[in-house]
Amino acid sequence: MISYSLRQLTYFVAAAEHGSIAAAARSLNISQPSISTAVAKLEAQFGVQLFIRHHAQGVSPTQAGRRLLIDARSLLAQAKEIGESAHDLGQAVRGELSLGGFVTVTPRFMPRLLKSFAAAHPDASVRLFEGHQDELLAGLDDGRFEMVLIYDVDLPEHLECRTLAAIESYVLLPPDHPLTEHEDIALADLADVPMVLLDVPPSVDYFTSILRQAGVEPNVAYRSPSFETVRGMVGNGFGYSILATRPAGDITYDGLPIAYRPIRDKIDPGPLVLARLAQSRPTRLAETFSEFCEGWFREHTDDSAGIRQAGRLSPITGFRKDEHGDWVAELVCGHGQHVRHNPPFQNREWVTTAAGRKKKLGMELSCVKCLR
């Protein structure tokens, strides 16, 4: 028999979010002893301390409290969804979804996607937060976000990812640069050219590693965490850049033209994914949103802009190493897919051991080459 209540969990979550018993009580319009009693009963039930009490400075969750906070938020969201589903007999998707988005891809895709989603599901809403990868992953772990839109680069293994598209990196150049005479550009041709680097993790490591794997040491002249500042510096002739997300226009903020060129070297496109905690069950709204995103990206692929459809799922049949010593998963479809463990690509510690690789046989990967 369950010996705790949703009300107790609600009071616990409020205290954790406000960092204060008094503030939680005010937000819920109840007495402080009601919050304290609920927390005490939960601590007695679970046999752990959930908060550290700071004299005159509120409370902060312990490690056990932080773990319970994630599960409590998920359970309360499920409970709310059950009530809403019962209200409308399961015919409408409603509620609010908390979504995080990587800073470079959110402005490119989310406004149009959310407009379409709102038209299809007017009773649902999406609360959107933009941030860098470390902010988004922290938000998933502490329950602030139910899912995040992010590149599948250096992601931890406790996430479950749904691939939406495959984004190809490109070279950005001033329009009068001699290299613009080529239809595509070999990375080796950039060896002596000044680089304007997008200084945002994991992009900063990913783009420099692309060059180093081609034998080119980046000649970084300028760096910026701002996507548009990088584009502006390139447009004003300070160097080239390597980027992935490509805006619809080829004009900088200050009105200067810039030139895009594909990369001649063989580089796998970067998977753009919706990621969530594998341990938490998605709400009906979250699952509906995920499926909507898959369909939306299928309709908005654009090879000319390097936005390719997500690959078909294909089971792993075996493993081999490529000429650089990186692990490649052999798939039923006949293609090979890199499963690197060396960041900034992805943390896959299991690929480093025979037992880990054996355990993954039969696991499905999204093959980015199937639809090329």
Residue 279 has pLDDT above 50, yes or no: yes
Quote the number of domains for the chain.
4
19 and 138 inside one domain? no
Q: pLDDT band at 203, cuts 50/70/90?
A: confident
251 and 184 inside one domain? yes
Residue 81 has pLDDT above 90, yes or no: no
175 and 321 inside one domain? no
Name the more confident of 132 and 85: 132
33 and 100 inside one domain? no
The two three-digit tokens of residue 142, written as one number: 């502490």
Q: CATH code at 21? A: 1.10.10.10
Name the more confident of 31 and 302: 31
Residue 62 has pLDDT above 60, yes or no: yes
User: Which of 44, 76, 108 is a domain's end point?
Assistant: 76
Residue 347 has pLDDT above 60, yes or no: no
Q: What are phi and psi of 66, to 5 degrees?
A: -65, -40
Q: pLDDT band at 86, cuts 50/70/90?
A: low
Residue 364 has pLDDT above 80, yes or no: no
Query: Model confidence over 145-198: pLDDT tens digits?
Result: 999 999 988 888 888 888 898 889 999 999 999 999 999 999 999 999 999 999
Does residue 228 lie in a domain region? yes
Q: What is the pTM of this model?
A: 0.67
Distance of alpha carbon 366 from its chain centroid, rounded? 16
Beta strands in the chain (DSSP E): 51-54, 58-61, 95-102, 124-131, 147-151, 159-167, 170-173, 195-198, 220-224, 241-243, 259-262, 270-277, 307-309, 312-321, 327-331, 336-338, 364-367
Name the more confident of 274 and 248: 274
pLDDT at 283: 82
210 lies in which domain range?
Answer: 170-262
Does residue 45 lie in a domain region? yes
Does residue 153 lie in a domain region? yes
185 and 238 inside one domain? yes
Look at 1-10, 39-48, 106-115, 244-253 and tell me which has the smallest mean pLDDT.
Answer: 1-10
Query: Tokens 């990206």 label which residue?
Result: 297
Instruction: Please give the DSSP secondary-structure letter assigned to residue 218.
Output: -
251 and 277 inside one domain? no
362 and 231 inside one domain? no
317 and 353 inside one domain? yes
274 and 163 inside one domain? yes
CA-to-CA distance for 160 and 176, rounded, in angstroms? 44
Does residue 84 lie in a domain region? no
162 and 179 inside one domain? no
pLDDT at 372: 44
Does residue 82 lie in a domain region? no
Does residue 81 lie in a domain region? no
55 and 182 inside one domain? no
* Average confidence score pLDDT of the chain: 85
pLDDT at 344: 44
Q: CATH code at 347? A: 2.40.50
Does residue 180 lie in a domain region? yes
Residue 325 has pLDDT above 90, yes or no: no
Does residue 83 lie in a domain region? no
pLDDT at 38: 87
Whether the CB-CB separation of 149 and 274 falls below 8 Å is answered with: yes
Distances (CA, A) of 291 to 121, 164, 242, 287, 300: 13, 10, 31, 6, 15
254 and 107 inside one domain? no
Q: CATH code at 186? A: 3.40.190.10
CA-to-CA distance for 260 and 146, rounded, in angstroms? 35
